[in-house]
Each structure stands twice: as C-alpha cells, then as structure tokens.
Amino acid sequence: AVRTVVARVLTRGGYRVLEAGNAEEARAILEIKGGEVKLVLLDNSMPQETGPEALPSLKRLSDAPFVLFTGGMAELPPGAAALLPKPAQAAEILGVVQALIVNAR
C-alpha cells in the first residue's frame, strides 16, 4: 500500500517511477537501470529483507541517494541519505525527493 501511494505521488509530481516489491526485485532493476536511477526509496519493513538489510547490496548497484521510510527509526543507517517518517505527507515526500535529486547533481 505504501509503495502504491508513493508511486502515485511521485508520478503526479512529474517523476518516472520504477517499482519493486522487494529487495530482490530492486536489485534486478538496478542491475539494468542503476546508472539511470536518480533516487531509491526503501521501506524499513519490506518483505524478506528490511530496508536497512537490503541497503548495502542495493548501494553497490547505484550511486543514487537512498531514502528510507521508517515507522520509528531515529538514526540514519549507513548509506542512507534521508529518513522519511511513516506516514509521510505528499508534500514531504516530494520535498525530500526534489532536494536529494538537486543535491546529487
């Protein structure tokens, strides 16, 4: 449900979104498109692997900034560029995404 809402918010905000249901799918996408990806959003509570568990393997496939959605994590895990609390408002999501993409340039 979080993925669907966030994808809709970002698409309406003018971004192209590639969706993955879990870390394995995300790795497959990044193996092909990693150089084109400008930002990666992970959920702390993904199926099979949590966001922090998947982060190191995903970082090896893309130089993009990584944002972690979290329901209670207060500390930024190594490799993450930002934390977004759940539930995040559309304006907050778009603001973080825009700022990280601009700073990555």
**Does residue 68 contact residue 44 with C-beta atoms inside 8 Å?**
yes
Mean pLDDT of 69-80: 81
Question: Is the per-residue pLDDT at 55 higher than 90?
Answer: yes
Which tens digits make up the pLDDT trace of 3-47?
A: 888 999 999 999 999 999 999 999 999 999 988 999 999 988 888
pLDDT of res. 78: 87
- Does residue 37 contact residue 67 with C-beta atoms inside 8 Å? no
- Checking if the pLDDT of 103 tops 70, the result is yes
Cα dihedral 48, 1, 87, 85, rounded to 10, equals 30
Q: What is the pLDDT of residue 46?
A: 83
The residue type at 19: E
For helices 23-33 and 51-59, what crossing angle results, to 10°?
20
Of residues 73 and 98, more confidently modeled: 98
Residue 64 — φ and ψ, nearest 5°? -65, 155
